[in-house]
A and B are shown apart, each in its own frame.
Chain A
Amino acid sequence: MKTEKTGFWQKLQNVDRRVLYLILVVTTSVLLSPMFANISIPDDPEPSSKALYYKLMSAPDNKTVFVQSDWTISTRGENAAHLEALLRVLMSRHIKFVIFTVADPQAPGVYRDVIRTINSERKSEGLKEYKLWEDYLDLKYFPNAEGTLNAIASDVRKAFGGVTAKDPTTGQDRNVFESPVLANVRAVSDASLYMIVTASSSIDRAVERLNEKATLALMCTGVIGPSAIPWFQAGQVKGVAVGLRGGLDVEYMMKHGLNYGSDPKTARWAGHESQVAPPVSEGKSLARANLYFLSFHGAIILLILAVVVGNIGMFVTRKKRTA
């Protein structure tokens, strides 16, 4: 009996990695299925996400927000949830924004998809659609992150000076600074927030070049999180949503608010009780991150199990060898 048991553990030690992969596929796919779609995941948001949500909700609604969207389809699991949440907050507050990327020529394609999705979602809910030129500007891709950020910091009118967009009333190309979105922006400090949604180290470049010139806030993938948190602790970045968890944090606060009234579900921020932010007034709140989070739970639990089982197996086989 005993040898049979050890044999099992030994076999487990040398298990083909493809078996592990299959278990992962099955677990995550099952948990993504429609029957779990309407579960609302409980959450106690991270302090950095609370700071971010407060910054977003307290930004003045008559000032433009800069959105630097530096991710592509590969990290949509995390970043699409981020950008969707961010744009839903901005659109619910009718804040104008300009969106661009300094990282990747593919990035405009994916952020346009996100804008289109949210716009059609708003249309079906009978809410105001965001219009190019009037409500937001799409400045597309700027190569050379370092140089572009330097140029934005020193003179945003020059950095974006060559960009034109179609004015829908005439169908003609006009300089973007003639649009209502950028008309009042003379320097990057005129924007109330400079949001970065990224899957790479573009936050480091932004802190290096825009620090003290713009109010930076970040939504990044889980991998980038640890290297971005020092910027938050030092006050150089005003709020950070890290990974899918960060996305869920923001969606949760969009649903329940921050320090908002006596709602038992609202996120409480110990030591910052005066910083109150309501839930979003219109549009969806719980969305992609909430949908993915159950599947994410499954993957993490599997990872923990793999580590635990791997160690038990190692101990049992080692015992057998010494016996």
Chain B
Amino acid sequence: MQWYDTGVLGMLFVVLLVLFILYNIYRTEHKKKDLYIRRIPGLNAIDDAIGRSTEMGRPVLMVPGIGTLNAISVQALSIFAHITKAAAQFGTPIRICLADAAVYTVAQEIIRDVYQQQGLIDRYDTDSVRFLTDRQFAFAAGVSGLILREKVAAAFFLGEWYAESLIFAETANSIGAIQIAGSTEKSQTPFFIAACDYVLIGDEFYAASAYLTRQPILVGSLVGQDWAKIAMAACVLFGFLVNSAQRLPETDMHRVPLKDGAPEVWSQLSDDQKADLETAETWAKGEKANATEDTGLYRLFNPFYSKEDLTVKRAKKPSGAAGATE
């Protein structure tokens, strides 16, 4: 009974997607074959942006959004590490502004590592990686001030962005900085498109490190993601066909409780069938408020269970021993 109500099929589907990614990582690492990744203009422009900063002798600004330490900020930092590598070689100053203390500590380590690996640790300025504040708009004010005071020549806004996106982008635009941006928050992408030179849309952000470094593991993972996308699209197509087919004959159908509406049919049913129908009817009345759809694919992922299926008999703990929070 434990597997009920958790949606086993949904979980198996996610496991399948995970296997796609892992298998492709394995495959690419062992094949050592160069795979084609389509052109992403925003990423091609990185070197131009750094070159421009170097010529003008002004800093490159990088901000990984205001998210906490998660996959998004680590991904942003790994792109920034690539940018820093180029900047370190040219001796271009960098500024990385952080709005989360945890991301700040990780960023500091990564950036110092980059300079160390390049053998240019003397060029590393400890103040180039800065924690400003974790207040969203105080951060926006702080970074805008830095953009205007230091007249940055190139700005990279990649990561988890919220309402502050446009403040940064318009401020940098006003001093003519070249801007490359991308947000995993899809609601902010339009703002970036209106104000920035290049924008990474959606998962282009995650493809960036594979695109820039061509490491087999990253490229393999990208191929796995594509497989997963195809699987999801196939699922949607299948659902569309199943649901449409199901809806066609249903246009004039009304659900009549068989027990009262058609007793002659009801009497011919087996006990199991009766029980199933009764469950279906109570659920259709909205007892389980969220299982609202009757379509085949929805039911495949959210099957009907009776109340008995979802009840487990267990012995009770001796009284007083448990749950002081009760």
Contacts and interface: CB of A to CB of B under 8 A. Distances in A.
A227 interface: yes
B325 A199 contact: no
Contacts of A17: 174
A161 interface: yes
Contact of B325 (A175, A211, A227): A175
B163 A74 contact: yes
Counting chain B CB atoms within 10 Å of each CB, the highest count among A74, A157, A175, A226 belongs to A74
Contacts of A224: 187
A175 B323 CA distance: 13
A157 B325 contact: yes
B326 A157 contact: yes
B136 interface: yes
B290 A235 contact: yes
Nearest to B186: A227
Given A212-B290, A215-B289, A201 B325 contact: no
Interface string B283-323: 00000011111000000000000000000000000000001
Contacts of B186: 226-227
A200 interface: yes
A287 B292 CA distance: 35
Interface string A66-99: 0000000011000000000000000000000000
Interface in B115-156: 135-137
B185 A199 contact: no
A177 B187 contact: no
Contacts of B135: 106
Counting chain A CB atoms within 10 Å of each CB, the highest count among B137, B162, B289, B290 belongs to B290
B163 A223 contact: yes
A181 B185 CA distance: 36
Interface string B148-189: 000000000000001100000000001000000000011110
A158 interface: yes
Contacts of A161: 325
Interface residues of B, number: 18
Contacts of B291: 212
A227 B289 contact: no
A235 B292 contact: yes
Contacts of A211: 290
Nearest to B188: A223
A177 B325 contact: yes
A42 B22 CA distance: 56
Given A74-B136, A74-B163, A199-B163, A227 B290 contact: no
A227 B187 contact: yes
Interface in A161-208: 161, 175, 177, 199-201
Contact of B137 (A74, A157, A201, A227): A74
A74 B135 CA distance: 11
A177 B174 CA distance: 54
Contacts of A223: 163, 187-188
B136 A158 contact: no
B162 A200 contact: yes
Interface in B262-301: 289-293
Nearest to A159: B325
A177 B326 contact: yes
B325 A226 contact: no
A17 B323 CA distance: 62
A235 B294 CA distance: 12
B293 A235 contact: yes
A161 B292 CA distance: 32
A83 B326 CA distance: 30
Nearest to A227: B187
Contacts of B163: 74-75, 199, 223
A207 to B, nearest CB: 11
27 contacts: A74-B136, A74-B137, A74-B163, A75-B163, A106-B135, A157-B323, A157-B325, A157-B326, A158-B325, A161-B325, A175-B325, A177-B326, A199-B163, A200-B162, A201-B185, A201-B187, A212-B291, A215-B289, A223-B163, A223-B187, A223-B188, A224-B187, A226-B186, A227-B185, A227-B186, A235-B292, A236-B290
Interface of B: 135-137, 162-163, 174, 185-188, 289-293, 323, 325-326
Interface of A: 17, 74-75, 106, 157-158, 161, 175, 177, 199-201, 211-212, 215, 223-224, 226-227, 235-236
Given A74-B163, A223-B163, A227-B186, 16 more contacts: A75-B163, A157-B323, A157-B325, A158-B325, A199-B163, A200-B162, A201-B185, A211-B290, A212-B290, A224-B187, A226-B186, A226-B187, A227-B185, A227-B187, A235-B290, A235-B293
Closest 4 CB pairs of A and B: A161-B325, A212-B290, A235-B292, A227-B187
